[in-house]
Amino acid sequence: MSVETDVLRLLADPLRARIVSLLASESLCTCHLVEETGARQTNISNHLRALREAGLVDTEPCGRFTYYRLRPEVLDDLAAQLTGLAEAARQVDLHGRKRPCT
């Protein structure tokens, strides 16, 4: 089972994780994210671009602003993969599986 390492790497960054957390509650534009995080606009924009390229967020033009919203299905897929890993680990514990040393 392969967990999406690119998505995990992106979410490991504290600011990106904060952005994702904020977008889980509502669609926001860059100015809202700057206000909420205290980060610089260029920094927020760079993180949003990375999240967009990874497929974690979508954009919605609204006049001269662009709103960002989280794509829950991407997080659902990641959660399912992590749940699968946890279940595999439970099976190891349950059945005491060990690879013999040679």
- Per-residue pLDDT tens for 67-88? 999 999 989 998 998 999 999 9
pLDDT at residue 2 is higher than 60: no
pLDDT bin (cut points 50, 70, 90) of residue 35 is very high
Query: Helix 5-12 and helix 14-25: axis angle, to 10°?
Result: 100
pLDDT surpassing 50 at residue 1: no
How far, in Å, CA of 55 to CA of 49, rounded? 10
Torsion of CA 50, 80, 58, 11, to 10 degrees: -30
Angle between helical axes of 30-37 and 14-25 (0-180°, round to 10): 120
pTM for the predicted model, two decimal places: 0.83
Q: Tell me the percentage of the chain whose pLDDT exceeds 90.
A: 72
Per-residue pLDDT averaged across 22-34, rounded?
Answer: 96
- Give the phi and the psi of residue 65 in degrees, each rounded to 5: -110, 160
